[in-house]
Chain A
Amino acid sequence: MMSRVAVVRFAGGLPGSDQYAVMLKCGLTALSDGGGYAGLVKRLFPSGTVGMKASCLARQNSTSPALAEALAKILIEISGIKDNNIIVWERTSRELKQAGYSLNAASIGGRCLGTDAADIGYSAEFFSSGKVSSMVSRILTDLVDHNINLALLKDHSLAGMSAGLKNMYGAIHNPNKFHANNCDPFAADVNNLEPIKGKHRLTVIEAVSVQYENGPGFDGRHFDRYGGLILSDDPVAADRVAQEILEHLRSKHGRPTLADVNRPVKYLASAQQAGLGTAEMRSINLVVRLIDAAGSEKAGELLS
């Protein structure tokens, strides 16, 4: 069965919350296969509490708070999710704060907190898959019913690429144990842990300004604008398309392929083998849309 991935590119400057909302609705519409974004959102998030796992390791190079805000507004508007039932989360509150998020663990307003927040922590239970045994953030196990992987596309010196699957390392208590062998098969195993796999509904990978070299820490010398969001309910397919973009940007800047520098993104094949999704472009139904500064939408190109 084909997996569907939507890439929405913005031709204007840096998107704000309003532009992100347009991009998200466009992408969700493309994923809905003609049903419209509202129907898809209602189907994926019928009720309950929705988590958004942000990627905030590198401070100024993190998933944008404006993107999270736009996504939250769509959930509230379409599914009627209460704002307090939306939780933007990360490993630590400090990381969220440094990335520009406003922390809130209160019972009023949208919540934003790290696993290290008071009374949160990690599951008492160990979850195991393949070579990984970990405790999982209680935000995921106990607080949310559905999770959105709100990831960021960037180069990663060990994994090759950090996008959706790698972002979920931030959900476990011992991510440092799983970086050998280009994170393979560990990235697949982490995403196959029952709470992570079971609550995943949607991957949204921010690829607006992409660090194509020297990641995952911030290195301002190696950024290029791509201006896109990648959306899919197939976490592996979303990453596979992200890899195409990353390799394209690396090539554009004269960098060797990730495989040529001993950082092949091997974990995608393992993730496919684990049944998490498809890692083959030929099995991906890719829709690319381009939105101009005025908000007009047309077909776009993945690599240009």
Chain B
Amino acid sequence: MKRRWFIKCLGCGTALAASQIDLWPTILGGIQNAYAFGFTKELASVEARYYKKLPGRGIECGICPRKCMVTDLERGYCGTRENRGDVYHTLVYGRPCAVNIDPIEKKPFFHFYPGSNAFSLATAGCNLNCKCCQNWDISQSRPEQTDNLDLPPAEVIALCTEKKVPTVAYTYNEPVIFYEYMYDLAELGHKHGIRSVMVSSGYIEAEPLAALMPHLDAIKVDLKAIRETYYRDYVDGELKPILDRLVQIKKSGTWLELVYLVIPTLNDSDEEFTELARWVKTNLGTEVPMHFSRFHPQYLLKNLPPTPQKTLERAHDICRTEGLDFVYLGNLPGHPAESTYCPKCKRVLIERRGFQINQTNLKGNHCAFCGREIPGRFA
């Protein structure tokens, strides 16, 4: 195989998203490290997992609740899995189009090794089509429409080891659609002491999730709304399987955090925040970190304004009143609700500004002031 080598920069805080739309990756700043990566025009061709052959012809994909029926030479909804003679192939195994080293807080994970970095990667494609997607240029593209790296799992782990990055994050797009790559990377990572975290919408079938979770250290789920109508109209998906998966993750003991992107007029009523808080409390408990993020108009929702700060604060207050212990506000740098507070003594445990940590008052997994145990994974 011909390999063209380009010196590419791995910038801190900036995804290296290479797509046909952008024509070529742009480095936006914060450059810290330079690596040599091989770009390839060749799509991967690795047999996918979790599919079954249908009587007659065609296959049914079993990776996500969409259960696409795919005939020869066609692809599933995600655009990354193709039927070739009734053998289903993933076209994105080892073919990330976005690679970067991010603070773990950017995912966001606030209770998972705060202050550490994550080698973050994504391929093209997604099994949803959120009208507010901030990474639509890769998530809503097919892999031949992006510029992809040839980066097999062993190379990612070698880079993490060399650069002392403790975690790989599968992020930016929906990692479920590059399940095989994520699985093998996570499994290999554990053998080399590298952790893995999945940043997902949770739109995955129970069986592949159960098989994957032993190799993951944490999962962040974007719970986009608490109403099926929102999922139907703005996500092109379903809520119920996601709620089921959240319960499954919680029961497994894998560390879980939730994000809820608050979009003016679409999912921002008091009733929805209350319903959300009560569902979380009942099904996941009070200690699951709940992040409310500020929406910025983009992709297919350019007609709506950014989320007012007061709306986010209302969501925060409702969830706290309903009894959730760790409620955060995101995309509001400098807001007090970016920080972690002890539910017992109310003092600041982790003071944040944006993705930066200014002070930590933890002793292991406990509040340094009152000794209350703080849920999460801390150094």
| Residue positions of A touching B, CB distance < 8 A | 57-58, 92, 116, 121-122, 124, 126, 128, 133, 135, 157-158, 173-174, 176-177, 179-180, 214-219
A217 to B141, CA, bound (A): 22
B173 to chain A, nearest CB (A): 13
| A133 in contact with B75 (CB, 8 Å) | no
Q: Mark B64-106, 1 if CB is under 8 A from A, else 0.
A: 0000110111111111000100000000000000000000000
Taking a contact as CB atoms closer than 8 A, the residue among B56, B69, B129, B142 that contacts A158 in the complex is B69
| B145 in contact with A214 (CB, 8 Å) | no
| A174 in contact with B21 (CB, 8 Å) | no
A94 nearest CB neighbor, chain B only: B144
B375 to chain A, nearest CB (A): 38
Which residues from A are CB-within-8-Å of B142? 173-174, 176
Which residues from B are CB-within-8-Å of A128? 300
A215 to B68, CA, bound (A): 16
A124 to B22, CA, bound (A): 9
Number of A-B contacts (CB under 8 A): 68
A58 to B76, CA, bound (A): 17
10 inter-chain pairs at a CB distance below 8 angstroms, sorted by A residue, are A121-B21, A157-B58, A157-B69, A174-B79, A177-B77, A177-B79, A177-B236, A179-B68, A179-B74, A180-B77
Which residues from B are CB-within-8-Å of A174? 79, 129, 140-142
A146 to B358, CA, bound (A): 61
A180 to B77, CA, bound (A): 9
B140 nearest CB neighbor, chain A only: A174
A291 to B83, CA, bound (A): 39
Which residues from B are CB-within-8-Å of A217? 71-74, 83
Given known contacts A92-B144, A122-B145, A126-B300, A176 and B73 CB-to-CB distance under 8 angstroms: no
Which residues from A are CB-within-8-Å of B236? 177
Which residues from B are CB-within-8-Å of A157? 57-58, 69, 71, 74
Given known contacts A157-B71, A177-B236, A219-B57, A124 and B21 CB-to-CB distance under 8 angstroms: yes
A92 to B143, CA, bound (A): 13
Given known contacts A128-B300, A173-B145, A122 and B69 CB-to-CB distance under 8 angstroms: no
Q: Is the interface of B mostly helix, strand, loop or mixed?
A: loop
B17 to chain A, nearest CB (A): 15
B141 nearest CB neighbor, chain A only: A173
The answer to whether the Cβ of B359 comes within 8 Å of any Cβ in the partner chain is no
Which residues from A are CB-within-8-Å of B21? 121-122, 124, 135
Which residues from A are CB-within-8-Å of B129? 174, 177
A156 nearest CB neighbor, chain B only: B71
A218 to B129, CA, bound (A): 30
A63 to chain B, nearest CB (A): 16
Which 3 pairs, one residue from A and one from B, show the smallest C-beta to C-beta distance? A217-B72, A176-B79, A157-B71
B367 to chain A, nearest CB (A): 47
B128 to chain A, nearest CB (A): 10
Which residues from A are CB-within-8-Å of B141? 173-174
A133 to B133, CA, bound (A): 13
Which residues from A are CB-within-8-Å of B131? 133
Which residues from B are CB-within-8-Å of A122? 20-21, 145
Which residues from B are CB-within-8-Å of A177? 77, 79, 129, 140, 236
Which residues from B are CB-within-8-Å of A124? 21
A214 nearest CB neighbor, chain B only: B57
A122 to B19, CA, bound (A): 11
Q: A158-B69, A217-B71, A217-B74 are in contact. List 16 more A-B contacts (CB 8 A).
A: A116-B20, A116-B144, A122-B21, A122-B145, A126-B300, A128-B300, A157-B71, A157-B74, A173-B142, A174-B79, A174-B129, A177-B77, A177-B79, A179-B77, A180-B77, A218-B72
Which of A124, A179, A215 has most chain B Cβ within 10 Å?
A: A179
| B71 in contact with A58 (CB, 8 Å) | no
B18 to chain A, nearest CB (A): 13
Which residues from B are CB-within-8-Å of A57? 73
Which residues from A are CB-within-8-Å of B299? 126
Which residues from A are CB-within-8-Å of B140? 173-174, 177
A57 to B73, CA, bound (A): 7
A132 to B23, CA, bound (A): 24
A180 to B23, CA, bound (A): 31
Q: Mark B200-229, 1 if CB is under 8 A from A, else 0.
A: 000000000000000000000000000000
Which residues from A are CB-within-8-Å of B300? 126, 128, 133
Given known contacts A122-B20, A173-B141, A58 and B73 CB-to-CB distance under 8 angstroms: yes
A217 nearest CB neighbor, chain B only: B72
B291 to chain A, nearest CB (A): 28
B123 to chain A, nearest CB (A): 14
Enumerate B294-316 residues with CB–CB distance to A below 8 Å. Answer: 299-300
A177 to chain B, nearest CB (A): 6
Which residues from B are CB-within-8-Å of A214? 56-57, 71
| B145 in contact with A176 (CB, 8 Å) | no
Which residues from A are CB-within-8-Å of B20? 116, 121-122
A57 to B58, CA, bound (A): 16
Which residues from B are CB-within-8-Å of A173? 140-142, 145
| B144 in contact with A216 (CB, 8 Å) | no
Which residues from A are CB-within-8-Å of B73? 57-58, 216-217
B72 nearest CB neighbor, chain A only: A217
A279 to chain B, nearest CB (A): 25
A179 to B73, CA, bound (A): 14
A214 to B331, CA, bound (A): 50
A10 to chain B, nearest CB (A): 28
B68 nearest CB neighbor, chain A only: A179
Enumerate B24-83 residues with CB–CB distance to A below 8 Å. Answer: 56-58, 68-69, 71-79, 83
Q: Mark B231-251, 1 if CB is under 8 A from A, else 0.
A: 000001000000000000000
